[in-house]
């Protein structure tokens, strides 16, 4: 196997990237980074300082200060964190400031990273790139279930509308790499998605097939 393989997993929200990435990381003994948490943590830093996450100066400053501990904050999910993350993620200087953090994480030992631009910008030479998608109806249902599990009552139509709005907002930074293998999870359970992904990984990394 490649000495320090980087496995890049991109795709829209609620398509199943995180679940898949964690399973792959556990199976291969690689560290895992959910890169959405970086943008969430930057957004939180700006809010903590009383700033506006859409302000490039405040957001870039916060991105340069980001440290690993920020990713363990308990308040990185929820509508306020979602909005702040989306706002900072749209700022070019923030994305540049977070490049090294992501590359250093992946380069030391190899890693599984999930996000929107891992296979295109962060690790364009990653030996394995997966692009995980699902139709809007299925993604909205999954997000609704997640919210329900957290005790949040939500209107399914509103959840779907919010996901669609996020797709539009994230679109400038989300593109399937030409050499990524697309996995549509709409009709697959987590186990089937994992098996498909592992088949791609085994082939790309020359691992023995189980
Ligand atoms: O995946 P997520 O919902 O945690 O991502 C939070 C926000 O950050 C979302 O608006 C998309 C953005 N993001 C990004 O632009 N690039 C990444 N690599 C990861 C997330």
Q: Whose CA is nearest to atom 1 of ligand 1?
A: 36
Instruction: For residue range 34-93, list pLDDT tens digits in order.
Output: 999 999 999 999 999 999 999 999 999 999 999 999 999 999 988 899 999 999 999 999
Q: Which pLDDT value is given to residue 35?
A: 98
Confidence at residue 123, expressed as pLDDT on a 0 to 100 scale: 97
Per-residue pLDDT for 24 more than 70?
yes
pLDDT of 153 over the 70 cut: yes
- Quick one: pLDDT at residue 2? 59
Whether residue 207 is predicted with pLDDT greater than 90 in this model: the reply is no
Testing ligand 1's pocket by substitution, the residue of 14, 33, 36, 171 carrying the most ligand atoms inside 8 A of its CB is 36
Ligand 1 in contact with 59 (CB < 6 A)?
no
Provide the terminal-to-terminal Cα distance of the chain, rounded to the nearest Å. Answer: 15
The pLDDT value given to residue 135:
97
Q: Burial, 158: exposed, middle or buried (Cβ in 10 Å; 0-12, 13-18, 19+)? A: exposed
What is the structure's pLDDT at 210?
Answer: 61
Average pLDDT for 94-107: 95
What homologous superfamily is domain 6-35+98-205 in, according to CATH? P-loop containing nucleotide triphosphate hydrolases (3.40.50.300)
Predicted local distance difference test score (pLDDT) of residue 108: 82
Is-contact 111 105, C-beta < 8 A? yes
The answer, yes or no, to whether any atom of ligand 1 lies below 6 A from the CB of 85, is yes
For position 130, what pLDDT does the model report?
A: 98
Q: How far is the CA of 210 from the centre of ligand 1 (A)?
A: 33
Give the model confidence (pLDDT) of 155-168 as tens digits: 999 999 999 998 99
Tell whether the model's pLDDT for residue 1 goes beyond 60: no
What's the mean pLDDT in 169-198? 96
Taking CA atoms only, the protein residue closest to ligand 1 atom 6 is 36
pTM tops 0.75: yes
How far is the C-alpha of 64 from the C-alpha of 41, rounded, in Å? 12
The whole-number pLDDT of residue 79 equals 84
Asked if 126 and 8 count as a contact pair (C-beta separation under 8 A), the reply is: yes
Is it the case that residue 188 has pLDDT exceeding 70? yes
Which pLDDT score, from 0 to 100, does residue 209 have?
A: 65
> Phi, psi (5° rounding) for residue 131?
-120, 110
């Amino acid at each position: 196997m490649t000495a320090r393989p980087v496995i890049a997993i991109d795709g829209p929200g609620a398509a199943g990237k995180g679940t898949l990435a964690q399973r792959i990381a556990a199976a291969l003994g690689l560290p895992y980074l959910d890169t959405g948490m970086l943008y969430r943590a930057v957004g939180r830093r700006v809010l903590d300082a009383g700033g506006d996450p859409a302000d490039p100066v405040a957001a870039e400053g916060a991105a340069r200060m980001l440290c690993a501990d920020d990713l363990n904050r308990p308040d990185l999910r929820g509508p306020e964190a979602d909005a702040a993350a989306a706002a900072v993620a749209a700022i070019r200087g923030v994305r540049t400031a977070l490049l090294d953090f992501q590359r250093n994480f992946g380069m030391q030992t190899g890693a599984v990273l999930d996000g929107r631009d891992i296979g295109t910008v962060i690790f364009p030479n990653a030996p394995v790139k997966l692009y995980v998608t699902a139709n809007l109806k299925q993604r909205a249902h999954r997000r609704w279930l997640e919210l329900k599990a957290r005790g949040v009552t939500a209107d399914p139509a509103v959840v779907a509308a919010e996901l669609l709005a996020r797709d539009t907002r994230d679109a400038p930074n989300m593109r399937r790499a030409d050499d990524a293998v697309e996995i549509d999870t709409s009709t697959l359970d987590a186990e089937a998605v994992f098996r498909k992904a592992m088949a791609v990984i085994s082939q790309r990394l020359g691992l023995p097939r189980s």
